[in-house]
Each structure stands twice: as structure tokens, then as C-alpha cells.
Amino acid sequence: MALADIQTMPDASDLADASVAPSPPQPVMPMPTGPPADVVPPGPSIELPPRPVLKLPTLARSGAAGPPSGETAADATLDPIAAAAAAAASSSNPHAMAAAAHFASMRQAATMPSVKPMRGKKKRRSRRPMVVKVLVLGLLGGAGYLGRDTAFATRLKGDGYDSSILPMIVYERPNPGTVDGTLILDGVWSQDGVAATDELFVDFINNPTTGDEQREFRQTRRSIEDGETIDPPMDATSWESISLEESTYREPHTEGGAWQQSPRNRDAWVSKLSNIWMYQDVIDHSLRRVTPVSVTDETIGGVEVTTYLWSIPIGEYRTSAPFVAARLPLPELETSDSLVTLTISVDSAGLVRVLEVALELDAVIGYANEQTDSIHFYRLRFELDSIDDATPTITAPTNTEPAPTDGAGG
Amino acid sequence: MEQKTKKRIRRTASLLVVAGLGAGGWVAYGSEPGQRAVGRREYFRAHPVVEAPDLASATISTRFEAIRSAETSTERYDIVATIDAANQRARVDTTSVPTDLTATGQSVPASATGVSTPSPAMSTEVITIDATYEPGATDADPWTRASRAPDTWGTWIDPHVIPTYDELVGFELESMHSWDPLIGGGGPLDLASQTAEIDGMIEANGATTTAAQEAPERTPTDVPAEVVRLMRWSTDMASLRHLSPLTMSMLGLIAPDDAPVVFTLGFDSAGLARYIDASISLSDAMVGLDTESMVFQWIEWRVLGVSDDPVTIDLPVNVVDAPVT
């Protein structure tokens, strides 16, 4: 039954004087209007003695107490329905009794939904909802515990986020026709207890697609005294080389001589380093965790770059910068407190314009004095001067002869 | 209060609740935790550090197929290194099996006929921090000791001989499509390039021929059971040099830049590499192969075991120093 229907039910006041002022409720049977004429003979009204109250359902409505069982008729008159029932019972009118019973049942039905708990009284509830809540909370807690290490959970927890860390960006790799750059390789070698530096400049122009490359070498050797290089240099030479698909040609030692041709070694150092390097080629997950000593915005060769500078103990070089270290290995100095200076300059397109790793010269000199079998690099620098869509014109020299032993070194 | 008014109030309240939820959701979406949850802050997120454990010993296997065009043959190497990390010693046992490429067709050079003439050669080498020891021709002959620079870089006694995820995988490789070839169970990998054919002009022993050649079938091996994360990419050699430079330097994989390569990495639960594989089809590997050079068709690196228990590698007693060149 709807609330509106309940509200349209006959009110107690309507039934207060049912025998005098009938107000027939709808749509039930007509209100009793007193006994029919054929049942009750006309005559002066007589006062009937009190009779036992008709026991009808007396479910109390809020604020209107029905006559409890055993109450007197006088008490029952407080309730119009009870009064009507009492009147009907006293009149012995079956219609009135039926109507009174009907209204009593109607009131019971009407009051059922609107029964409200008494203020201050606790409603007795089933325990089932509480069990369900506990189960739901337990399931949620268990799922949260099991998923605490999932990607989503770690994101919410904020594990590993640092706004100052180098961003994890993959720049698009360009496909230029020409790459123009410089390699600088500084090493130390020792012979008979005498150490010297070997400085090699390589200016290169290459075609990244074909691998054709033209290089100019300048090699300078200087002796070392008291940990410092001495000028003038002991030796300074320069030469040019051209590398095409299968061969490398080295400039003749004498003017007018033939270029020396040798098979090209594409796995040579210089070939590996004379490529385009992108931000993501040198900045790896490990290096991102190392805080740079400085971050500088500057202009190099007319190009605006951001230069990152790290200072890393040599013992941590490989684990701190594995991508750079894999390409530019440095001597494993036993003095692990020696510092590697790593410099990376990146332009707005993600191109690495400068990449340099350097060790302190003193530390490498001592190492070279113990290892006299080879040169030990202490500074490796790559500079990208420019890239261009146009392809360079690199052709083989005309006057060539097979190299006697080694070529131009790749 | 009239019913219509009540309904209007309820409707307005409902709209306000919905609007409030929307506004709250929008604010939450734009908040830092919200942006993290939807993955828009991954640029500024660092991987947790994977510390290389201080292992007492390890056993690592490397197998590869080297192709030498001069003999139109392949040579399969199977290297097992037992590493005493505490004393920086390693014993390296190498087995090499030369096999001819199986050739069919016309004008086949004599050296390319016939299938596989295995004559496995076995050798042992002991490596220390400053020397290598090689056995003599017979057990009675002394070992030869050769001094070397005390570098561990790229050797079996390198403390970082087992690289970590961060050392092998950069964020470009991470952003590329990868797949797990073993989803649904372990077992040997089914590499497409186990067997490959090459058609066309083949230069060998000074002769040029038109033939189809087939590399000897690769014996599949199981991915180590410790691998919990197996990732495979399809790329090319030139890109792989950029994508995983440490892989290239530690494996020394030699192949043409344009060669398509199937690259597989497997990591254990601690983030340490347990499996590395790079495979190239024979035809792609042999492109541009001249008579002097050698290329790899595939190379496989596996950690057979690591332990906190030390392993003893004795240095040979009967030793002579190698002549200084």
C-alpha cells in the first residue's frame, strides 16, 4: 500500500461519532448509520448498560493507543474505532459489527508500514548484513594485499616517481643523408717506463645509409713530465682516409703516391662511434637514477643544447652508465675513488651533440706505467657538428694499391 | 509539502550529487596520484635498483654458430664457463664442431658437398685476473701461462658477468613491441631461424655457384627455469646496437647491419639476466660475407647456475710462460 493511500484512510476524527455523523469511507462498504429501521424500533434513546468490549485487533498507531485487552468501554471510547466497535457490539447490529471489524482490520493494515521505532529504542536487526560487510571488507583487504605490488598499486603509492629525474623519452631517430662530426680519443701509453699521451682527432663526414665515410686524422704525441703533457709534441701526423662499401683507402705517405687499399673493417672502433646517437642511446635507466652535478642550457655550434654533467667513481661507471660504458670502456683502475666525468649535451630534437667520458690523467698514467702493452684511453669525446638531408659525394681515389699489412684502421 | 516540490528537490539533489561526483572525479584525474594511476607520469619514474648479488660461483653457457664463407662452413661453439667469483678465476671449456653447409643444386663446390663432418675440438682455458693458462698438446705437456692486463672487462671473471635488466634494456627497447614466446609453459624455444636456406650466388673457394644451402639444424635448449620474464623482439642488427649496446659488447655478435634479428632476453625474479638469444636467418647472415670474415647466425647465452657456495678452480702446476711477442 502506498503512503498516499494510507494518508487517505479515514481518520480517527471521522469515526469519532460514527453513529451520529456517518462519513462513509471509500471504497469499502457504507458506514453504519445506525441499525435499520426494521431492526431497531423507533423510540426514545435509552442508555444501555456497559457491556464487555468487543475484542478486535487493537494494534496501536503512533500516538493513539488502542484499548488493550481487558480495558473498559470508557477507555475504548478514546479510540473511535474501538468506540465504534463497542457501539456496534452494544447495538447487536450485524452490519455495524461487520463495519467495525472491517475498519479495525483496515487500520491494522494501514498502520503496519508506518510503524516507526520509538525514539530511544534499539531496533533489533539481523546479523546477516554485518557478516556480509565484514566479508566484503575482508575481500577488499585481501585483494589490496595481493595486488600491493601490481603496476597500478605502485603507481598509486608513488613508488619511484621523481620530478627531478631525467625523463624517459624516446626521441624519433632522424634519417639524414650526411652526418658531420668529430671524434677525439686521448690515451696514455708507456714504454720503458716513459709515459706519453696520444691524442687523435678524427673529423668525419659519412652517409649513414651507405656507410660511406671520409675521415681526416690528426695524431699528436706528447711526453709527460710530472703528470703534465709537454709541448712541443714529440710527433704530429695527419692523414686522410676514405671508406666505401668494401674497402678503405688511406692517403699516401708521400705526395703523388698511391692510396693504400685494404678491406674495410666495419667493426672498427671509429666505425662504431661515427653514428648518430640519440638521447635514449646514452641515457638509460641506471643513469637516470644518478643525479647530475650540473645541468646547463648553452649553445654549441649555434645549436641550443642542455648539457648534463655527472661525476661518477670509476668503480661505479659501468653500473651507473651501462649504455655509455658499453660503447666507451675505460681502464679498470684499481683506485676506485678516481672519478669519471661524463658529459652529455642534447638538443631539442634529442640528438646527442656532445658525449664525453674522461678520467683524471694522473690516475691513468700510473695505470699505463704498469701496463705497457697497449694504449689506455682517458678521454673519449664525440661531437656532432651537423646533419643534412643531402648525401655527401664520397668517391674512391683513382691511384690505389693494396696496403702491405694494415689499412687506415677501419 | 507538495509531491511535485519534493520530487523536484530530489531530482535537484540527484543532479548535484552526479555533478559533484563528476567534478570530484575530474579533480582526482588531474591530481598527481590520478595522473600516476593512468600512467602519465611514467616519464619521471625510476626502476627500483637491482643489485647484482655477490655470488661465490656461477656456471654460464654460451653457444653460437659462426659462419665462415672461406670454407663455406659453419662452426658451432659450445662454451661452458665455471666461475670462482671469490678468487676471480674461471675455467672455460670449449667444444667446437665444424659442419659444412648442406648444399643442393648445381655447380656445388667440393667443399660444400656432404652433410656435416663433425670433428669436435675440445679445449680448456683457465683465466685469472692477470693471466690465462692453456693446456699443452698432451696431458704430459706443461700449460702455457700468458700474462695480460688486470682487466676483468668482458671476461668471465667480470663481477658484472651476469647483467641486470637495466643494463640490457633501455626505454626505447622497452617501448617496442615484445612478446613472451613461452607463455603457457617452458621448454625449448622454437626459433624460426633454426634452419634456413639461401638461394643465389654463393662465393666459396674462389668458385661462384647457384645453389641452395641449409645450415645444420640448431639443437634447441631449454630456457632456464629461473626465468620469470621472457621478452622477445624483432628488429635488425643496426638497431640492436643502439637498443642494447651491452648485449652487443658482451656477446660480440657479428652480422650485417640490415640483417633482421630475433632478440630474446630472459630475467629471473631479481631482475638478473638468465637467458639471451639473438638469431638471424642464414640467408640474411651471409649477405655481404666476404672470404675473409665471419658472421654469427645465432648466439645463445644462458646462466646454468649460480651459488653462494664456492667452487674450487686449481691453477695448473706444470706451467711455462708464453714467449713475449
Per-residue pLDDT reduced to its tens digit, A263-318: 887 666 666 676 789 999 999 999 998 999 999 999 998 999 999 999 999 888 98
* Residues pairing with A218 in the sheet: A201, A238
Other Cβ atoms closer than 10 A to A117: 9
Closest among A96, A62, A83 to A13, alpha carbons compared: A83
Q: Which residue has the higher pLDDT, B2 or B135?
A: B135
Q: Which residue has the higher pLDDT, A385 or A56?
A: A385
**Which three cell numbers, joined as nine digits, stand for A301?**
655550434
The answer to whether residue A332 scores a pLDDT higher than 80 is no
Looking at the complex, report in whole angstroms how far the Cα of residue B117 sits from the nearest Cα belonging to chain A.
31
Q: What pLDDT does B213 receive?
A: 60
Question: What CA–CA distance (Å, rounded) separates B232 from B180?
Answer: 6
The answer to whether residue B80 scores a pLDDT higher than 50 is yes
**Which three cell numbers, joined as nine digits, stand for A29?**
462498504
Looking at the complex, report in whole angstroms how far the Cα of residue A261 sits from the nearest Cα belonging to chain B.
15
Q: Which of A265, A266, A286 has the highest number of chain B CBs within 10 A, making it the mutation to test binding with B? A: A286
Where does the pLDDT of residue A323 fall: very low under 50, low under 70, confident under 90, or very high at 90 and above?
very high
Which residue in A155, A170, A371 is closest to B175 by CB distance?
A170
The answer to whether residue B108 scores a pLDDT higher than 50 is no
Alpha-helical (H) ranges within chain B are 3-30, 32-37, 165-168, 171-175, 237-243, 245-251, 282-285
- Where is mean pLDDT largest: A354-358, B1-5, B43-47, B126-130? A354-358
Start-to-end CA distance of chain A, whole Å, equals 98
User: In chain B, what percentage of residues exceed pLDDT 70?
Assistant: 78
Question: For chain A, how many helices (H) and strands (E)?
Answer: 13, 13
Question: What CA–CA distance (Å, rounded) separates B135 from B144?
Answer: 6
Closest among A373, A269, A384 to A329, alpha carbons compared: A269
**Which three cell numbers, joined as nine digits, stand for B62?**
654460451
Q: What pLDDT does A299 receive?
A: 95
Chain position carrying cell 637498443: B243
Q: What pLDDT does B194 receive?
A: 45
Chain-chain contact of A285 with B175 (C-beta, under 8 angstroms): no
Instruction: Give mean pLDDT, residues A54-67.
Output: 42
The answer to whether residue A383 scores a pLDDT higher than 90 is yes
Strands B197-204 and A228-229, by their bridges, are unpaired
Q: What pLDDT does A272 receive?
A: 66
Q: What pLDDT does A152 receive?
A: 80
Please report the sign of the dihedral spanned by the C-alpha atoms of residue A21, residue A23, residue A28, residue A30.
positive
Which residue in B36, B46, B170 is closest to A156 by CB distance?
B36
Are the C-beta atoms of residues A21 and A50 closer than 8 Å to each other?
Answer: no
SS3 of B54-72: CCCEEEEEEEEEEEEHHHC
The answer to whether residue A79 scores a pLDDT higher than 90 is no
Which residue in A156, A165, A326 is closest to B46 by CB distance?
A165
Q: Does B151 touch chain A (CB under 8 A)?
A: yes
**Which three cell numbers, joined as nine digits, stand for B68?**
665462415
The upper half-sphere exposure of residue B217, i.e. CA atoms within 13 Å in the direction of its Cβ, equals: 4
Chain-chain contact of A165 with B44 (C-beta, under 8 angstroms): yes
User: In chain A, what percentage of residues exceed pLDDT 70?
Assistant: 69
A-B contacts (CB, under 8 Å) = 106
Per-residue pLDDT reduced to its tens digit, A102-159: 777 777 766 655 555 555 556 666 667 788 899 999 999 999 888 888 878 888 777 7
B157 Cβ partners below 8 Å, 6+ apart? B83, B85, B88, B89, B90, B127, B128, B129
Per-residue pLDDT reduced to its tens digit, A6-52: 344 444 444 334 344 444 444 444 444 444 444 444 444 445 455 54
Per-residue pLDDT reduced to its tens digit, B18-68: 999 999 999 999 888 888 888 887 878 887 777 777 788 999 999 988 877
Chain-chain contact of A373 with B33 (C-beta, under 8 angstroms): no
Alpha-helical (H) ranges within A198-342 are 269-273, 279-282, 285-288, 317-320, 322-327
Cα–Cα distances in angstroms (integers) from residue A339 to residues A317, A362, A364, in the given order: 9, 11, 11
Chain B residues 173-202 within an 8 A CB cutoff of chain A: 175
Q: What letters, b where the CB count within 10 A reaches 16 and e where it falls short, cover A23-58?
A: eebeeeeebbbbbeeeeeeeeeeeeeeeeebbebeb
* Average pLDDT of every residue of chain B: 79
* Average pLDDT of every residue of chain A: 76
Per-residue pLDDT reduced to its tens digit, A169-212: 999 999 899 999 999 999 888 777 777 888 899 999 999 888 88
Q: Does A148 touch chain B (CB under 8 A)?
A: no
Q: What pLDDT does A72 receive?
A: 46
Question: What CA–CA distance (Å, rounded) separates B109 from A359?
Answer: 54
Per-residue pLDDT reduced to its tens digit, B287-317: 766 656 677 878 899 999 998 888 989 888 8
The answer to whether residue A5 scores a pLDDT higher than 50 is no
Alpha-helical (H) ranges within A94-211 are 94-114, 128-146, 151-157
**Which three cell numbers, joined as nine digits, stand for A127?**
546479523
Instruction: Give mean pLDDT, residues A363-377.
Output: 74
The answer to whether residue B103 scores a pLDDT higher than 60 is no
Looking at the complex, report in whole angstroms how far the Cα of residue A67 sits from the nearest Cα belonging to chain B.
33
Per-residue pLDDT reduced to its tens digit, B190-203: 554 444 444 444 45
Chain-chain contact of A285 with B166 (C-beta, under 8 angstroms): yes
User: In chain A, what percentage of residues exceed pLDDT 90?
Assistant: 28
Q: How far is CA A83 from the centre of its chain?
A: 75
Where does the pLDDT of residue A362 fall: very low under 50, low under 70, confident under 90, or very high at 90 and above?
confident
Chain-chain contact of B175 with A246 (C-beta, under 8 angstroms): no
- The answer to whether the peptide bond before residue A117 is cis (omega within 30 degrees of 0) is no
Q: What pLDDT does A111 receive?
A: 60
Sequence letter at residue A22? P
Roughly what angle, to the nearest 10 degrees, separates helices A80-91 and A94-114? 160
Indicate the length of chain B as a whole number: 325
Q: Out of B63-77, B131-145, B165-179, B250-264, pick the least confident.
A: B63-77
Per-residue pLDDT reduced to its tens digit, B278-288: 988 777 777 76
Chain-chain contact of B163 with A322 (C-beta, under 8 angstroms): yes
Chain A residues 193-212 within an 8 A CB cutoff of chain B: 211
Please report the sign of the dihedral spanned by the C-alpha atoms of residue B136, residue B137, residue B139, residue B142.
negative
Question: What CA–CA distance (Å, rounded) separates A363 from A339?
Answer: 9
Q: What pLDDT does A66 receive?
A: 41
Q: B107's torsion region: left (phi>0), alpha (psi -120 to 50) or beta?
A: left
